[in-house]
Amino acid sequence: MASAVKRRKYSKHDTVPYHVYDGSAARQLEQQEVLQPRPQVRPRERAVARPKIRVREAGAVSPFAVVGFAAVAVFAVLLLYSYVQLAVISKQVVGLRADLTGLKTEEAKLRAKYELAYDLDAIETQLTTNGTMVKPQNGQVIYVDLSEPDSVTYFDEDGTASGLEDAADGLQSILTQVMEYFS
């Protein structure tokens, strides 16, 4: 089968000896071509010249810019000052809260001492034995019923209530007293 394959021969590759071929596809130069010097290219000389730059003339400072920068500076200082005040107040609040807890514990201790200083049972027994204080009897105790809402009713001498007539009389007496005062 291998003999049945037709082989082509390339005539150009057959003429190149293998010991000369270096594996590149570039054309091999002859000895005369290699030794010829290449022509040197003379670099261009550039003329040194400074570019012309148009300079803007110095203008006057805008008063709006000055006022704006001054306002920003003032606001920055005020902001820093407010942060300092906030820090100081926060520190004071923490200190006052610590003082408050101390004062509450001291108040609880003092209230306990105060309650222990006055023994009501001992005072009652002492005053009842002397006779300066007597326990109330059942008929002397009066209980007030506060379950109903408060209300006040004024009665005349005959027992009837007259609110509008009394209000008009009171207003008339006040006006007469004011008139007498200024005259």
140: which DSSP letter?
G
Locus of tokens 């001498």: 157
d(CA 13, CA 60): 85
Residue 33's pLDDT band (boundaries 50, 70, 90)? low
Higher pLDDT, 14 or 148: 148
Place of tokens 């023994």: 119
Contact (Cβ atoms closer than 8 angstroms) between residue 133 and residue 127: yes
Mean pLDDT of the chain: 80
Spatial CB neighbours of 106, under 8 Å, sequence gap ≥ 6:
none
pLDDT band of residue 94 (cuts 50, 70, 90) is: very high
Amino acid, single-letter form, for residue 122: A
Q: Where does the pLDDT of residue 101 fall: very low under 50, low under 70, confident under 90, or very high at 90 and above?
A: very high
State residue 81's pLDDT score.
96
Average pLDDT, integer, range 17-29: 63
- pLDDT confidence of residue 91: 96
User: Which sign, positive or negative, has the C-alpha torsion 27, 32, 35, 39?
Assistant: negative
pLDDT-derived band at 145 (thresholds 50, 70, 90) equals confident
**Rounded CA gap, 183 and 175, in Å?**
12
Greater model confidence, 60 or 100: 100
pLDDT over threshold 80, residue 164: no
CB distance 87 to 94 below 8 Å: no
* Amino acid in the structure at residue 97: R
Token couple for 176: 């007469």
Query: With 70 as the cut, is the pLDDT of residue 7 above it?
Result: no
Q: Alpha-carbon dihedral of residues 147, 150, 154, 159, nearest 10 degrees? A: -20
Under a CB-based contact definition with an 8 Å cutoff, are residues 154 and 161 in contact? yes
Looking at residue 82, what is its pLDDT?
A: 96
User: Taking 70 as the threshold, does the pLDDT of residue 150 lie above it?
Assistant: yes
Q: State pLDDT tens for residues 115-141.
A: 888 888 888 888 888 888 888 888 888
